[in-house]
Each structure stands twice: as structure tokens, then as C-alpha cells.
């Protein structure tokens, strides 16, 4: 691998050869190749030393410099960074590279060690660190001093401090959250709490991804996280899903299990509390029980207990930092996220509302079937699905009205729930407890129904139409339901007539969809719903705002297979012409 003078980031497993060529000798790829050839001439790296080729000198020496009592850093170095090599008398030294980011100066200084330590070899590790091989025992102190000059932080590789994080939203087009920013925040919190260097945590690691993909290896992390987006106060907020108990150990490997979601801002404190409680749990067990076993057996209960304290997001005016990602001073947004980004944003909005709906129901139960909270839960459940219709209702009345049209009248949702609105409107705080309890049960059943519909939704946000109505609920309002069904049929006939008339026009001129003023990802959802009403080959002109909408929506539509025929700036907005 040849590198120009630049930051080396995201080092993955494998061998690393570093060739650094000053900027001033390169002007384009041809110059670069020529300069690299000249540089390499006579410097071709030697093949790795085999056991018999390694010098015998010094291999039987004890550590020349035993650490003094107050030399804690060197002691940590010997404990955590140094391992015996297979070849007798030689050591492997692991250098922790926080976030896997090695600057050009550090890389150059590291490569320079080859001159001071004969026969050393550098390797990268899957934990984004560097191994220095073939170090003799009596060279360890000298190497420690050299590394100390090159790096601010290189102790404690492969401990809880050594978080593995992908590049996340920092540079990755698919990244939702800034995972390296979170890794630094966790490291700061754990260092301050003096939770590093504790034997009890040996074998635990933390792995973070900026999105549900696995570049940062979260499925095999003992404590693992991946970025998601939730909506609070109609604003996107960076969150992480938490997983526990993953392990990468040959045939004893195990996938981490999901435990819950938490705002990005609360993750470092959550992890600090979690480790403290894990340490207390370990102190109650015999020394033969390892932390891995405790994590597997008690981790989930401990985590769920702490999550209650950290899952809340305060209002924006009280704590705007919750609405910003780690390492950023601006409010969080999905701007710049690439292919499929709109779809990912919509899924996150749905899941966010469903989670909130569940929380509202739990609160309602705790407060003696509080009617306001039951209605809130029903509102959130409806809003969760309405987002795929491009709607973001603000009031309960609006949500009921649109949900009726989009989901009951269209035959997607079970019409038995269509009288829920009337029923909920009747209940107040002064009505008997058993009636409130009945309303609570209905709210709960409705949420289960909505979750079922969500599970059946396909990748184009379409739902199955119902063949039969559900069973088990009291059949009230039959006549009104029939009237509604009838109205649905009439509307459907009317809309088909209008559709066929307008479709004829579609061959002559594009249909127009004005999405100016509609934020992401609702604009994408609205475009998808509108496209459903068109015929293959129809032309559609979509008007979109500048910024996030014009960057995200065309990419998502292209990703769905539509042809973008034209993109044109018109004053403060854009016109997009697509072929359906």
C-alpha cells in the first residue's frame, strides 16, 4: 500500500507497508508512481524474519528496566501492551491507535523505528491497532520511551478503553451517527472515572457502528452499539441501539443481543454506570466466574435497569445538546446520508413513534389508565404509519382523520378499530375505572395491530389489503362501518375515473408534484405515494427545496429504479423530471 502525505485512517487487519512521499514531488498519479518507484529503489522491504533468522542476542535477558514503584505507565505498558512472541525471547508490542487514526507524522515516526530496532515488523490488527513484532526483551524500555514520544495515548490496547469505531457520519455516506466522536466521548468518561486498567474488565470490548451495518464489528462486541435516528419534538435526534454479549473467539463466537435504545448524548454515562454495576456484580461471584459469564447472565437486567435513567430526551429549549451528535456543534440532520437514506430515515421515524407509543401506554397504566396518555399512544401509533403516506399530523384530530382515509377506508387497517376515536373521546378522568381500563386494553390492542401492519410493510412502503376483518373485539358501529365502506367504494370509483382522465394527459405533459416546504424524509414518502398513482412511463415533475431535499430525494428515487431525466435550479428551488 502506498500512501502520500496524508492522514491514514480506518486501518483494517493485514500487513501495512508505509511509503511516505512529500507533496512537493508529486503532481498527479504519474508523478506519484515515478516518485514512489525512485523511493522504493533499493528499499524493498525484507521478507518477515523466520524463527531461525532472528538474532539470539539478548533473548534471555530479563526486562532490563523493571518498572519502579511510581512508574505506573511503564507497568501498564508491560501488562497490557506486551505479549510473548512464539519465538523465544521476542515480544510483540501492541500500540493502541485511538479510532484507528494515524497521522502522517506518527506514521513516519513509527516507520523510523525500523532503523532503531533491527528486524522489527509492523502489522495492523482487526481492532484498528498496530503490532510491532520481533522486539527483544531488553529493548522494551527503549521502545516504550520511543512510543511515548510519538503518541499521546497508546496504552491499554484491547481493553474497554480500546473502542473500535467505524468512521460513521464523519466520512461514510451511509453513516447516521458520528461513531468516532462517541468513541472519544466514552474514552474520556472511562478515563476520568478511572475505570481503565481494572483486571475485572479484562476480555470486554466496546464496538460502535454509525449505522446498522457492521464495519465497526458491533455484532461481536461485548458492549456494542449502532447508530439510529429517533424523532423527538418533530426533530431528528441521534440515538444508538445497545447490544450485549457478543464474542469473537473461534467456535465459541457469539452474536451480541439487542437490549434497547438510548440517546447518543447519554451513551458515555450509561457505559460508565453499566461497568460500575458489572464490577459490583463480579465482586459477589467467586473468582472462577469470569466477567464474560456475568455479562451473559446478568448484563441484560443491569442494562435495562440503568436504561430507565438514560432513555429520556429533554425538550430542545432545555438541553439542545441532545439534538446534536458527538463532535458537532450543529443540530443533527440526515443531510448528506447517501443511497436509501430517505428510506432509512422513514424506518427510524416509524420505530421512534412506535417506541414512544409503547412508553405512553406504560405510563398510562402506571397512572391508573390515564386517558390523555392512552390517546397519546394511539396518536403516536397512527403517526408512525402515516409517515409513509408523507403525512406528519400535529394533532390527534388530524391523525384520526388522515388515518381513517389512508388506512381504514383503503382496507389496510382492521375497521373494527375505526370507532376507537369516538370511544376515546368519551372517556375522561371522572368515568369509572373499569371503562378506563377497557380503553387502555383497546389502545394496547391497537398498538399491536399497528406493529403487525408495520411488519407486513414491504420495501416500497406498501401494505397488504385485508381479506377478512379481525376477530375477538366487540363489533360496535357496524352500520357506520358499512357506510364508511360504501363511501370508500364511491371514492375509489370516483378517483379511478379522475385517474384515467388525468392519465391520458400524462402522455402529453408531466404531472406536477409541488414538495416545496416539505422536509426530509416526508418529501420522499409523498413522492412515493404520488408515483403509486401513475402509470409506468408517465412523466413526473417534482419541485423540491434546495439543501437536504434536492440532495437526498433524487438519490433515493434513483435507488428505487426511477430515471431522473432532468434536474434544474429555478430560483430558490429545484425542478426534478423523472420517468416512472
Q: Please, what is the minimum distance in Å from the beta carbon of residue 214 to ligand SF4?
A: 6
Only one of the segments 168-176, 252-260, 423-431, 468-476 lies at the binding site for ligand SF4 (rule: CB under 6 A); that segment is 168-176
| CB nearer ligand SF4, residue 210 or residue 263 | 210
Q: How many residues bind ligand SF4 (CB under 6 A)?
A: 12
The Cβ of residue 53 has, within 10 Å, a number of other Cβ atoms equal to 12
215 is catalytic: no
CA angle 242, 247, 251 (to 5 degrees): 145
Of 146, 121, 144, 145, the closest CA to residue 134 belongs to 121
The Cβ of residue 521 has, within 10 Å, a number of other Cβ atoms equal to 29
Evaluate whether 206 touches 268 at the Cβ level (below 8 Å): no
Cα–Cα distance between 490 and 412 in angstroms, integer? 17
Pull the grid cell for residue 479: 352500520
- Would you count residue 338 as binding ligand SF4 (CB under 6 A)? no
| CB nearer ligand SF4, residue 256 or residue 281 | 256
Q: Please, what is the minimum distance in Å from the beta carbon of residue 213 to ligand SF4?
A: 4
| CB nearer ligand SF4, residue 227 or residue 549 | 227
Evaluate whether 3 touches 26 at the Cβ level (below 8 Å): no
- Would you count residue 263 as binding ligand SF4 (CB under 6 A)? no
Which residues lie below 8 Å from residue 392, measured CB to CB, with a gap of 6+?
234, 383, 386, 522
| CB nearer ligand SF4, residue 166 or residue 543 | 166
| CB nearer ligand SF4, residue 211 or residue 576 | 211
Pull the grid cell for residue 576: 426534478
Evaluate whether 466 touches 456 at the Cβ level (below 8 Å): no
| CB nearer ligand SF4, residue 213 or residue 492 | 213
State the catalytic residue, choosing from 177, 215, 391, 520. Answer: 520
Show the site string, 115-154: x = touches ligand SF4 by CB under 6 A, - = not: ----------------------------------------
Pull the grid cell for residue 548: 437536504
Residue 28 has, within 13 A of its CA and on its CB side, a CA count of: 1
- Would you count residue 172 as binding ligand SF4 (CB under 6 A)? yes
- Which of 98, 99, 100, 168 binds ligand SF4 (CB under 6 A)? It is 168
Ordered alpha helix ranges (H), 218-290: 267-283
- Which of 98, 100, 157, 175 binds ligand SF4 (CB under 6 A)? It is 175
Chain CA centroid to CA 289, Å: 32
Q: Please, what is the minimum distance in Å from the beta carbon of residue 165 to ligand SF4?
A: 8
Evaluate whether 185 touches 332 at the Cβ level (below 8 Å): no
- Would you count residue 225 as binding ligand SF4 (CB under 6 A)? no
Evaluate whether 520 touches 553 at the Cβ level (below 8 Å): yes
- Beta strands of 220-365 (E only): which ranges? 223-232, 235-244, 257-263
Q: Please, what is the minimum distance in Å from the beta carbon of residue 465 to ligand SF4?
A: 35
- Would you count residue 399 as binding ligand SF4 (CB under 6 A)? no
Show the site string, 187-216: x = touches ligand SF4 by CB under 6 A, - = not: ----------------------xxx-x-xx
Q: Please, what is the minimum distance in Å from the beta carbon of residue 55 to ligand SF4?
A: 42
Cα–Cα distance between 323 and 315 in angstroms, integer? 9
Q: Please, what is the minimum distance in Å from the beta carbon of residue 40 to ligand SF4?
A: 31
Pull the grid cell for residue 406: 389512508
- Would you count residue 238 as binding ligand SF4 (CB under 6 A)? no
| CB nearer ligand SF4, residue 103 or residue 213 | 213
Which residues are known to be catalytic?
520
- Contact residues toward ligand SF4 (CB under 6 A) are 166-168, 172, 174-175, 209-211, 213, 215-216
Amino acid at each position: 500500500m502506498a500512501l502520500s502525505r496524508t492522514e491514514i485512517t480506518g486501518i483494517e487487519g493485514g500487513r501495512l507497508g508505509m511509503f511516505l512521499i512529500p507533496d512537493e514531488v508529486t503532481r498527479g498519479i504519474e508523478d506519484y508512481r515515478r516518485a514512489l518507484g525512485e523511493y522504493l529503489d533499493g528499499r524493498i522491504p525484507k521478507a518477515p524474519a523466520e524463527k531461525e533468522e532472528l538474532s539470539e542476542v539478548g533473548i534471555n535477558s530479563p526486562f532490563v528496566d523493571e518498572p519502579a514503584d511510581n512508574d505506573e505507565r511503564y507497568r501498564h505498558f508491560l501488562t497490557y501492551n506486551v505479549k510473548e512472541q512464539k519465538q523465544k525471547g521476542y515480544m510483540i508490542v501492541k500500540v493502541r491507535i485511538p479510532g484507528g487514526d494515524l497521522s502522517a507524522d506518527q506514521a513516519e515516526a513509527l516507520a523510523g523505528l525500523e532503523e532503531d530496532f533491527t528486524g522489527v515488523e509492523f502489522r495492523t490488527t482487526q481492532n484498528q491497532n498496530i503490532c510491532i513484532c520481533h522486539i527483544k526483551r531488553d529493548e522494551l524500555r527503549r521502545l516504550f520511551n520511543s512510543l511515548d514520544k510519538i503518541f499521546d495515548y497508546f496504552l491499554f490496547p484491547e481493553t474497554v478503553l480500546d473502542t473500535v469505531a467505524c468512521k460513521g457520519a464523519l466520512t461514510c455516506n451511509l453513516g447516521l451517527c458520528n461513531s468516532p466522536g462517541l468513541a472519544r466521548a466514552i474514552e474520556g468518561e472511562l478515563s476520568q472515572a478511572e475505570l481503565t486498567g481494572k483486571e475485572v474488565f479484562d476480555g470486554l470490548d466496546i464496538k460502535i457502528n454509525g449505522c446498522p451495518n457492521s464495519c465497526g464489528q458491533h455484532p461481536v462486541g461485548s458492549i456494542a452499539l449502532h447508530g439510529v435516528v429517533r424523532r423527538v419534538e418533530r426533530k431528528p435526534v441521534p440515538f444508538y441501539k445497545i447490544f450485549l454479549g457478543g464474542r469473537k473467539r473461534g467456535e465459541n463466537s457469539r452474536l451480541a443481543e439487542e437490549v434497547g435504545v438510548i440517546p447518543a448524548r447519554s451513551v458515555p454515562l450509561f457505559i460508565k454506570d453499566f461497568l460500575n454495576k458489572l464490577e459490583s456484580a463480579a465482586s459477589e461471584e467467586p473468582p472462577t466466574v469470569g466477567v464474560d459469564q456475568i455479562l451473559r447472565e446478568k448484563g441484560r437486567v443491569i442494562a435495562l435497569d440503568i436504561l430507565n435513567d438514560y432513555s429520556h430526551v429533554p425538550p430542545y429549549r432545555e438541553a439542545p445538546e441532545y439534538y446534536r451528535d458527538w463532535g458537532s456543534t450543529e443540530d443533527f440532520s440526515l443531510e448528506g446520508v447517501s443511497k436509501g437514506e430517505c428510506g432509512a430515515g422513514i424506518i427510524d421515524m416509524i420505530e421512534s413513534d412506535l417506541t414512544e407509543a409503547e412508553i405512553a401506554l406504560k405510563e398510562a397504566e402506571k397512572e391508573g389508565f390515564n386517558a390523555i396518555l392512552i390517546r397519546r399512544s394511539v396518536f403516536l401509533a397512527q403517526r408512525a404509519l402515516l409517515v409513509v403516506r408523507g403525512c406528519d399530523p400535529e394533532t390527534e384530530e388530524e391523525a384520526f382523520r388522515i388515518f381513517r382515509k389512508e388506512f381504514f377506508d383503503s382496507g389496510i387497517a382492521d375497521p373494527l378499530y375505526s370507532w376507537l376515536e369516538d370511544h376515546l373521546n368519551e372517556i375522561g378522568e371522572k368515568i369509572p375505572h373499569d371503562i378506563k381500563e377497557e380503553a387502555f386494553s383497546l389502545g394496547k390492542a391497537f398498538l399491536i395491530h399497528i406493529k403487525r401492519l408495520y411488519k407486513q410493510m414491504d420495501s416500497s412502503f406498501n401494505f397488504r389489503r385485508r381479506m377478512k376483518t379481525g376477530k375477538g373485539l366487540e363489533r360496535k358501529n357496524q352500520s357506520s362501518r358499512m357506510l364508511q365502506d360504501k363511501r370508500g367504494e364511491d371514492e375509489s370509483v370516483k378517483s379511478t375515473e379522475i385517474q384515467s382522465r388525468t392519465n391520458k394527459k400524462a402522455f402529453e405533459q408531466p404531472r406536477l408534484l409541488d414538495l416545496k416546504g416539505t422536509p426530509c424524509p416526508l418529501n420522499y414518502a409523498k413522492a412515493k405515494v404520488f408515483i403509486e398513482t401513475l402509470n409506468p412511463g408517465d412523466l413526473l415533475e417534482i419541485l423540491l427545496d434546495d439543501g437536504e431535499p434536492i440532495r437526498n430525494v433524487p438519490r433515493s428515487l434513483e435507488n428505487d429504479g426511477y430515471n431522473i431525466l432532468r434536474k434544474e435550479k429555478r430560483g430558490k428551488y429545484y425542478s426534478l423530471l423523472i420517468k416512472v
